[in-house]
Amino acid sequence: MKHCVGRDVNEFEIKGIIGFDGSTTNGLFVHPDGKHIVYPLGNKVAIQEWSTKKQQFLVGHTNIISATAVSTSGKYIASGQINHIGFKNSYETAIQER
Residues 64-89: tens digit of each pLDDT? 888 999 999 999 999 988 777 765 55
User: What residues form DSSP beta bridges with 84?
Assistant: none
Residue 10 covered by a domain: no
Residue 14 lies in a domain: no
Q: How many structural domains is the chain composed of?
A: 1
* Residue 29, domain extent: 24-94
The answer to whether residue 16 is domain-embedded is no
Would you say residue 4 lies in a domain? no
Backbone angles phi, psi at 10, to 5 degrees: -65, -15
10 Å Cβ neighbour count for 77? 20
Residue 8 domain-assigned? no
45 inside domain: yes
Give the residue-averaged pLDDT of 23-52.
Answer: 91
Give the predicted TM-score (pTM) of the model: 0.70
Residue 46 lies in a domain: yes
Nearest to 63 by CA among 29, 46, 40: 40
Judge whether 11 lies within some domain: no
